[in-house]
């Protein structure tokens, strides 16, 4: 009898365990999370992307531990650069790293991205303007008016100088030069005879070899060496038209809002890591390649003559301010910032 009672109880227990396992199975399956996958396209080619974004994306993928994976694509790999904003807006890609100016973001503040003439002298000016002079809030306001794209963060890159096949030693030498430039910077420099040229990033080096271009004003000397343009140019003008490129990260709004908060925070931390890396990489590179590069001859337009360009920039600022109240607000901030830096003296301004 005891044996029968034991077998009966054992059978009931086994059935209970089996039932519990069967009922529990769907619950366990429901807890299994699908990896979130994003596609992010940068403005940069392969060699440059190794510095300006890849380390931070590799870091993100490592720390996310399979919960989310960001696939990084270089300039033009998924969509042409000029279509980058619309591609993010439509959800063709999930995020982008570029500047508002060259991707023609449909906001009035886009002219202040990339190289707004003489808005800054050093790379540190960009994060200070965005984080301490209110440009972050203005950018949020502007992009809240656009459906489908969320502006995430703006940081500094390198200065904007001319690298050319012909020497530039005076303003007269700029006349007729066909130069690959950002839209707003090119618009400004037209008054000095520069002919801004627009073509796919990957075609620039060949265009200089074939004579279609006379040079670039797309970066500082670090990029000129890194991407191979130092191999097809001969001269580097040390006078910058801007002290740093202001570039940003953008995401499709629906994809961004769908992320859990901890992944949003992780992405923000990785953007900050990218901003920090560029600060010291470019600061090192601009001095290193000027003194040890060996491929380009440095030229300089005398300070007194270059002041003509600086003065023209202030007139250009007023023209941009007249385009919208928000633009006028930004110009007032830039003027206040400039006065503060000049009043502070060295090392802020010399």
Residue-wise pLDDT tens digits, 4-60? 454 445 444 444 444 444 444 454 444 557 999 999 999 999 999 999 999 999 999
From 174, 186, 171, select the one nearest 306 (Cα to Cα): 171
Say how many C-beta atoms besides its own lie within 10 A of residue 288's C-beta: 13
CATH second-level architecture of 161-243+294-344?
Answer: 3-Layer(aba) Sandwich (3.40)
Angle at 123 between CA 120 and CA 127, to 5 degrees: 85
What DSSP designation does 158 have?
A: -
- The torsion angles phi and psi of 75, rounded to 5 degrees, stand at -50, 125
What is the percent of the chain where pLDDT is above 70? Answer: 91
pTM score over 0.75: yes
Q: How far apart are CA 219 and CA 163, in angstroms?
A: 9
Verify cis geometry, omega within 30 degrees of 0, for the bond prior to 281.
no
Distances (CA, A) of 108 to 120, 142, 244: 19, 8, 20
Helix (H) or strand (E) holding 95: strand 95-98
- Closest to 205 (Cα-Cα) out of 184, 180, 187: 180
C-alpha 142/C-alpha 104 separation (Å) is 14
Q: pLDDT value at position 5?
A: 52
Q: CA nearest 43: which of 86, 94, 90, 100?
A: 100
Provide the b/e sequence for 181-203 (b: ≥16 CB within 10 Å): bbbbbbbbbeebebbbbeeebee
State the architecture of 36-158+246-292 in CATH terms. Answer: 3-Layer(aba) Sandwich (3.40)
The tokens of 278 are what?
């560029």
Intervals of the chain under pLDDT 50: 1, 3-4, 6-8, 10-25, 27-30
Distance CA 17, CA 314 (A): 80
CB 256, CB 264: distance < 8 Å: yes
Q: Report the Cα–Cα distance between both ends of the chain, in Å, rounded.
A: 102
Smallest CA-to-CA distance from 203 within 45, 84, 42 is with: 45
- pLDDT, residue 33, reads 76
CA 214 to chain centre: 25
| φ/ψ of residue 96, rounded to 5 | -150, 155
Residue 18, Ramachandran bin (φ over 0: left; ψ between -120 and 50: alpha; else beta): alpha
Please list the residue range(s) of the chain that carry CATH number 3.40.190.170.
Answer: 36-158+246-292, 161-243+294-344
Strand-pair category, 195-197 with 178-181: parallel
């Amino acid at each position: 009898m005891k044996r029968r009672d034991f077998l009966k109880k054992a059978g009931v227990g086994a059935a209970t365990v089996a039932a519990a396992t069967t009922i529990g199975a769907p619950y366990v399956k429901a807890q299994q999370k699908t990896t979130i996958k994003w596609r992010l396209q940068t403005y940069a080619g392969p060699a440059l992307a190794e510095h300006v974004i890849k380390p931070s994306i590799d870091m993100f993928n490592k720390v996310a531990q399979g919960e989310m994976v960001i696939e990084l694509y270089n300039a033009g790999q998924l969509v042409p650069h000029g279509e980058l904003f619309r591609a993010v807006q439509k959800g063709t890609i999930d995020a982008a790293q570029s500047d508002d100016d060259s991707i023609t973001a449909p906001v009035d503040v886009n002219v202040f991205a990339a190289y707004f003439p003489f808005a800054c002298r050093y790379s540190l000016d960009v994060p200070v303007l965005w984080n301490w002079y209110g440009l972050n809030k203005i950018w949020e306001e502007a992009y809240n008016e656009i459906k489908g794209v969320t502006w995430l963060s703006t940081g500094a890159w390198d200065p904007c100088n001319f690298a050319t096949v012909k020497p530039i030693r005076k303003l007269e030498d700029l006349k007729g030069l066909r130069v690959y430039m950002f839209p707003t910077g090119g618009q400004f420099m037209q008054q000095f005879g520069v002919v801004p040229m627009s073509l796919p990033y990957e075609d620039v080096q060949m265009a200089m070899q074939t004579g279609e271009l006379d040079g670039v004003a797309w970066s500082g000397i670090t990029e000129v060496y890194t991407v191979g343009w130092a191999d097809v140019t001969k001269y580097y003008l040390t006078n910058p038209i801007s002290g740093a490129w202001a570039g940003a990260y953008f995401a499709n709004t629906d994809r961004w809002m769908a992320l859990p908060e901890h992944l949003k925070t992780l992405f923000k931390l990785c953007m900050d890591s990218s901003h920090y890396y560029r600060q010291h990489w470019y600061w090192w590179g601009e001095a290193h390649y000027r003194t040890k590069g060996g491929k380009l001859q440095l030229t300089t337009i005398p300070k007194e003559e270059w002041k003509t360009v600086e003065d023209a920039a202030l007139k250009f600022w007023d023209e941009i301010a007249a385009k919208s109240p928000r633009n006028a607000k930004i110009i007032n901030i830039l003027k206040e910032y400039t006065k503060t830096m000049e009043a502070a003296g060295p090392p802020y301004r010399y």
